Structure 1
Amino acid sequence: MRQLKTWLLSLGLLSSFALAQTPDFSNDRIYFLLTDRFANGDPSNDLGANPQQPLNWHGGDFKGIIQKIKEGYFQKLGFSALWITPVYLQTPPVPVTGGPNAGSEFAGYHGYWAEDYFKVDPHLGTLEDLKELVKVAHDNGLKVVQDMVVNHMGYGATLAKTNPGYFHTDAECNSSTSKDQDCPLAGLPDLKQELPEVQMLLNDAVSYWVKEVGIDGIRMDTMKHSSDAYWPQFFAAGGPADPEKIWTVGEVFDGNPVFLSKFLNFGSPSVLDFGLYGAIKDSISGGGDATRVAEVLAQDSVYPDARRLSTFIDNHDVKRFISEAAERGVTGQAAVERLDLALSLIYTLRGTPVVYYGTELAAAGEGDPYNYPLGRSNREDMKFEGALDTPISKRLMTLNQLRASTPALRNGRYAEVCRPYGDTSIFAFKRSQLGQPPLVVVMNNGDSPIDLGALPLELSKTFAASAPLTELTGKSLSVSLNGDGNLVGSLPARTLYILTAERGAGAYSNPENPCIALAKAGGASALVKMNFTVDARSQGNGPIELRRFDTGSQVTYPMQQDPEKPGFWKTSISVPKNTLLKFKYGNLNPKAQNSGYEGYGEPDRSVVAKEENADVQSVYNFIVSPVPTVVLTGKVLKDGQPVANALVALEGENTLFHALTREDGTYHLPLPAGKQKIRARHADSGATDFMEVEGAQQNFDFNLK
């Protein structure tokens, strides 16, 4: 043990301070495991476990994790924190009536079906075992993040029978306008976090584990399904998850950065970055154009601080990356190389990287074991033989060591150097921090080498001209710096380089003209004027602005309302020819839906600046979805007087079909075809009116009550 600690200290991977005293995870690398599927250290607590049944308990426990810590498994890989699944006593198994596992029982081996929030499930061990796990982890330089759930309990939970008023009813679900929060997830008893007595119960449960066990962090399950009103008090000073005392990462299963940012604004120190996950899954697993990755990063300005995000490439709720690659026809060595690319990306981008157990084996997994026979799910038992000798485990050792020793990768400024577009697959960005050597990360996401002679990467004097390059993970280089300080040479297929060199005059500045990797470089650098017009009649009096995301941080441009066409807004900007612009329109009215961003759930708009005076015309909210041909117009009144800034919207979930009233109470609401239920509501007074409508109508007035 003493030799292991000495080795870790030499790598800078073992902390010298009391781990439980800090809530900061910005410097950490997290290993996520399902306790029941990881290691069986005490067969006496198996209690009927059956590893041959995909949905039964398999025998993994706290003692198994302790054993692996003492062996140095996580430390040799270079991780600094462990995330374990929930420890609660689970409700009894339920019968499986369909699918490949029909006739078996479905147990709460995963930990998310709580029967008692204050007891440890005996399949995992005892409370004392859990405390020992945390102590041994701390003694070995590892933090512990414990998964928790406040949204729901398990099927048939006793509390749902003894205190049914604590849970949402079917009637409440059916009448709700926030079904994500007020309806059961997969039929599980859905708690009413808005009730004071429920809030107190849940707060006490979270505080119990934090104080009793001494964990360092919380992974909060299903955050978007719990009441929005719960979270501000949860993260408030002195609250159960006060960020000054405990770190929390929330699961918000949504790829929209604007929606994710809401939970950071509620006070959560971190959320899982499902936006970047989706982009990496779609772009890197199959190869080719990685534009989506660049698009997600270009929206980082919507977050209070994007470095607070926690990044990942797969987990227990989604298909493993290797299986995503296989679905796209990529197998064997090429799939492993793509897994290397994906991991290298999250280790060189902002956020705290999280790696799912089995990734070091390049394990496949098609999804939840409910839907697959034994051996094909994303929650198989961990196999340790040779696990530290695979290409991916060795790559993780290198990446973890580099991340731990390189401040610019953890906290440095991000600036795009080159983004893919068309039929090329290059993506390059810069990470820089004052006082630290600048880094340039360049990736070829294609299956053929790229000759950078056709597209010299302009690094704007990040490095000194002709300075020798170093690849920080030890890869042999086939690129170099020319006399202008730009990157030239051949970039191999499925390769990511992490480069540094003697700093140049522009080491800490953004590239002046980030390239757009078209099929051929050589496009003229002259500026071209682009004219933007958006039909925002649904957005009341606005004001509307253009929000551009392709520059590395959000840039906004005010728009002017067309005096001849009220509700139509215009602006013009000039950009270098062949620039790929990524943008959305926004409404600065504080009453606007979706925090003032158009197109909830829709991707960014995009256009390439090819021609002078090109006209770009759009309809607010409708980016990919077809523009409706049905329009409802009228007024919103209260006591016979027009109401400004009232919301008129299609009843139900947050949709694209909503409108704000103008000062004179008028509205312009696009609608889908067919009979629809429409709600008008004034946020300040809470006054509401509901009506049904079918087809386009004029003078359709609402009278708020």
Structure 2
Amino acid sequence: MMKLNTLFLTLLISAPNVFAANIAISTTTNSRQFTLEDEHPLVVPLSKDSYTINISEVNGKCASVNAQKVKFNKPLALNCGEPTELDLRVRFSGDYAFTFNESPPSLKINRQPKTSQKTTFKRPLPNLQCEVYSGSAVTINLDNLFNESTKLRDAYSGHIVEVKNNKVTLTPSPDSGGLVLLEKLPTASTVQQKPPLNWRNANIYFVMIDRFNNADTSNDQSYGRVSDGLDEVGTFHGGDLKGVTQKLDYIQSLGTDAIWLSPIVEQVHGFVGGGEKGNFPFYAYHGYWTRDFTKIDQNFGNDEDLNELVKQAHQRGMKVLLDVVINHAGYATLADLQIDKIDVVTPQSNWPPQWSAWKPMSEQNWHSFHQQINYKSSQWQHWWGKDWIRATFPGYQSPGNSDISSSLAGLPDMITESTKAVAPPEWLLNNAGTRVAKRANFTVSDYLIEWQTDWVKRFGIDGFRIDTVKHVEPSVWKRLKLESINSLETWRNNNGESGLPFFMMGEVWGHTAYRSPYFDDGFDALINFDLQKKMDKGAACFSQMKNTYQNYANTIQESKDFNPVSYMSSHDTELFFSRFNSLQMQRNAANALLLTPGAIQVYYGDEVARKIGPYADDFHQGTRSDMVWDLDKDRQSLLTHWKTIAKFRKNHPAIGAGKHNVINQDNAYVFSRSLKDDTVVVAFFGH
């Protein structure tokens, strides 16, 4: 989803005389972070739109800067010690260079000559001073955490050492990135007795189903969907629920506690124009453009496939989370307007009988079909209807400017706050295989809650990831949580199972690692957009995580119900690997992510450095490239490293949920995490 773009440039000076910048380029639903260094231009693809630029944490002394007009290729003065806000209007899509100069503090923006869309953007490594490991044995202070003669094991190398004079001495594994992971030597009983899931230590693996694994090719082109025969930027690629089930052993080997599935519900059947120029057909392969909330999209599979996935995941001790979208439905595509008989289209004589097969002719693009749609027709009343959604059709409520009333990316905004009784539209009631039925005195939110909790009641879904939280009323989320708890209990009673209460994780765009009032609205965790901004430095040097780890851990300990879910890559921001295209940086980023306090989210392919895919002029399509299954030697090594750190995390709830203490030691970053009788020590001696 994309709307008005907002560009935030955050300049963080890392150390005296070392001028580096973390730059986040954000929309209301998307964000991209980059590293910028003094006099090193950062080139970013931008679409035609209005942007706000916010530059902060520029050190030094300089005159205060008031409002100024942005002129390309002219230095823009920056404030020192307080943010600088600039308005930028991009009139031509293309690549734009941002150059920061520290003396005097200024930013220059200029448009770059047109280059190939397949250009790989590779950023310079952050310029940091970091510990340097000599390669010899190291001695680690233990801060009186273990009794004398206690045997500890380095979970990475497997070396066993004995505590002597509150210290241990060993040689770090050459493959660990300078890390030592100390744990009490496991006994036969502790190996057999796996620690119960603590959601604050959860490792959540996010799978975009269509791009993960194709186990059933018979459903690849459901509802008349077709490939474009070119880069396949926005088409369905064939991944399905069977494909996820087929890879459950692999997912489990990553230390996964819960699998977050992209939305599985039936999507709009057709396409919209992709990108600014409409140069590719854009289908709802991602799952966020719903047609019917009550049935599985045929491209993803069927009820039996979902039932088997949940069953097999539960047998492996993993939870299953569904992605829930109730703020909006999907666009009105040609294919859907035709099958639902919404009489608002005047097809041209050269159109195919099935509008799903429409393609642009010469001098047209994938936006051109809109010319044949009458958006002022009264027949739109037969689509979702004025009591269901906000839209700019005759008789409908127009979208507003608030979070609740706005229309994200022009999508039909569900009127979830309405108290008016409504009936589902006829086309939805007649949709093949639907579970939608008329209910007496049901409001929009009543239907949406019933439709979502039905998945829990039927399949034993363990939790939800909630999309666009701030765009729906808190009361709706509270009701959804309560009814989901009851639905899961119903399923468990019927299936002889027990377990943790229903889990609900929310996406509040831009939310960071603090306890906000959203936690009072039924949420057990919120996605933390902050860590990705810190990953550049954390991957360049693990000790750069020192302040971040301490802040996260302190906040977690101060609140019983606060839980951030941190990530390094996502479908709405960027792939970390695409920043530096460095396997070493990806390995080091694994350390920084997997040892973060609170829950973490791994985006499919992070563990094998999945590359960005084709994206035309829509950057975010590239973040949803196909999963990498054929690994070369270097990626096999990266995967082994990832599994080792992840296993250590899974075995020790203290890593995510425990109290964090830094242990003072020269030339090393050492800390402990403790939760009840679980204590670990992590030491970093440099690369």
The residue that corresponds to 1:526 in the other structure is none
TM-aligned CA distance change 1:107 to 1:195, over 3 Å:
same
Once the two structures are TM-superposed, the CA of residue 89 in structure 1 deviates from its matched residue by 0.7
Q: Secondary structure at the match of 2:328?
A: coil
Match of 2:309 among 112, 121, 133: 133
Match of 1:380 among 600, 615, 625: 625
Q: Secondary structure at the match of 1:96?
A: strand
Instruction: Give the distance between the partners of 2:446 and 2:299, measured in 1 at CA.
Output: 28
Whether 1:342 aligns to 2:577 is no
Instruction: Give the distance between the partners of 2:462 and 2:595, measured in 1 at CA.
Output: 24
Q: Secondary structure at the match of 2:295?
A: strand
The residue that corresponds to 2:678 in the other structure is 436
Once the two structures are TM-superposed, the CA of residue 190 in structure 1 deviates from its matched residue by 0.9
Instruction: Give the distance between the partners of 1:115 and 1:61, measured in 2 at CA.
Output: 18
The residue that corresponds to 1:215 in the other structure is 461
Deviations 1:232-258 (A, max 9, x none): 333347767889741111111214445
TM-aligned CA distance change 1:283 to 1:344, over 3 Å:
closer
Contact 2:556–2:598 (CA under 8 A) maintained in structure 1:
no
Instruction: Give the distance between the partners of 1:381 and 1:266, measured in 2 at CA.
Output: 35
TM-aligned CA distance change 1:166 to 1:15, over 3 Å:
farther
Instruction: Give the distance between the partners of 1:438 and 1:205, measured in 2 at CA.
Output: 44
The residue that corresponds to 1:316 in the other structure is 571
Once the two structures are TM-superposed, the CA of residue 173 in structure 1 deviates from its matched residue by 6.2
The residue that corresponds to 1:145 in the other structure is 321
Instruction: Give the distance between the partners of 1:288 and 1:310, measured in 2 at CA.
Output: 21
* Structural mapping, 1:450-469, within 5 Å: none
Whether 1:78 aligns to 2:255 is yes
Once the two structures are TM-superposed, the CA of residue 169 in structure 1 deviates from its matched residue by 4.7
Once the two structures are TM-superposed, the CA of residue 175 in structure 1 deviates from its matched residue by 5.3
Contact 1:361–1:387 (CA under 8 A) maintained in structure 2:
no
Instruction: Give the distance between the partners of 2:256 and 2:584, measured in 1 at CA.
Output: 21
TM-aligned CA distance change 1:129 to 1:323, over 3 Å:
same
Instruction: Give the distance between the partners of 2:642 and 2:574, measured in 1 at CA.
Output: 20
Q: Secondary structure at the match of 1:180?
A: coil
Unaligned ranges ≥5, structure 2: 1-186, 341-380, 420-442, 490-499
Deviations 1:199-255 (A, max 9, x none): 101110111111112222211111122223322333347767889741111111214
Match of 1:63 among 239, 242, 247: 242
Deviations 1:469-517 (A, max 9, x none): xxxxxxxxxxxxxxxxxxxxxx323xxxxxxxxxxxxxxxxxxxxxxxx
TM-aligned CA distance change 1:407 to 1:228, over 3 Å:
closer
Once the two structures are TM-superposed, the CA of residue 58 in structure 1 deviates from its matched residue by 0.6
TM-aligned CA distance change 1:431 to 1:298, over 3 Å:
closer
Match of 1:188 among 411, 418, 432: 411
Q: Secondary structure at the match of 2:232?
A: coil
Contact 1:283–1:293 (CA under 8 A) maintained in structure 2:
no
Whether 1:161 aligns to 2:380 is no
Q: Secondary structure at the match of 2:403?
A: helix
Q: Secondary structure at the match of 2:390?
A: coil
The amino acid that maps onto 2:586 is L
Contact 2:457–2:487 (CA under 8 A) maintained in structure 1:
no
Instruction: Give the distance between the partners of 1:160 and 1:111, measured in 2 at CA.
Output: 24
Whether 1:248 aligns to 2:504 is yes
Identity, % of aligned positions: 27
Whether 1:35 aligns to 2:209 is yes
TM-aligned CA distance change 1:368 to 1:113, over 3 Å:
farther
Whether 1:117 aligns to 2:293 is yes
The alignment covers a number of residue pairs equal to: 413
Once the two structures are TM-superposed, the CA of residue 91 in structure 1 deviates from its matched residue by 1.0
Whether 1:87 aligns to 2:269 is no
Contact 1:300–1:306 (CA under 8 A) maintained in structure 2:
no
Once the two structures are TM-superposed, the CA of residue 278 in structure 1 deviates from its matched residue by 2.7
Contact 1:55–1:369 (CA under 8 A) maintained in structure 2:
no
Deviations 1:345-393 (A, max 9, x none): 33223222221111122123289676159xx811111121237962321
Instruction: Give the distance between the partners of 1:288 and 1:190, measured in 2 at CA.
Output: 45
The amino acid that maps onto 2:503 is W
Instruction: Give the distance between the partners of 1:368 and 1:295, measured in 2 at CA.
Output: 37
Q: Secondary structure at the match of 1:300?
A: helix
Instruction: Give the distance between the partners of 1:437 and 1:302, measured in 2 at CA.
Output: 16
Instruction: Give the distance between the partners of 1:24 and 1:160, measured in 2 at CA.
Output: 48
The residue that corresponds to 1:622 in the other structure is none
Q: Secondary structure at the match of 1:316?
A: coil
Once the two structures are TM-superposed, the CA of residue 12 in structure 1 deviates from its matched residue by 8.4
Contact 1:35–1:62 (CA under 8 A) maintained in structure 2:
yes
Once the two structures are TM-superposed, the CA of residue 44 in structure 1 deviates from its matched residue by 0.7
Contact 2:271–2:284 (CA under 8 A) maintained in structure 1:
no
Q: Secondary structure at the match of 2:479?
A: helix
TM-aligned CA distance change 1:433 to 1:104, over 3 Å:
closer
The amino acid that maps onto 1:121 is D
TM-aligned CA distance change 1:43 to 1:242, over 3 Å:
closer
Q: CA RMSD in A?
A: 3.8
* Structural mapping, 1:441-520, within 5 Å: 441-443=682-684, 491-493=685-687
Once the two structures are TM-superposed, the CA of residue 427 in structure 1 deviates from its matched residue by 5.6
TM-score by length of 2: 0.53
Query: Which gives a bigger RCO, structure 1 or 2 (Cα 8 Å, sep 6+)?
Result: 2
The amino acid that maps onto 1:277 is Q
The residue that corresponds to 2:478 in the other structure is 232
Instruction: Give the distance between the partners of 1:112 and 1:160, measured in 2 at CA.
Output: 22
The amino acid that maps onto 1:248 is M
TM-score by length of 1: 0.52
The residue that corresponds to 1:54 in the other structure is 233
Unaligned ranges ≥5, structure 1: 1-8, 444-490, 494-705
The amino acid that maps onto 1:161 is W
Contact 2:267–2:290 (CA under 8 A) maintained in structure 1:
yes
Contact 2:214–2:242 (CA under 8 A) maintained in structure 1:
yes
Instruction: Give the distance between the partners of 1:164 and 1:14, measured in 2 at CA.
Output: 58
Deviations 1:292-351 (A, max 9, x none): 735853772697347622221111111111122x2xxxx4xxx33332333223322322
TM-aligned CA distance change 1:298 to 1:25, over 3 Å:
closer
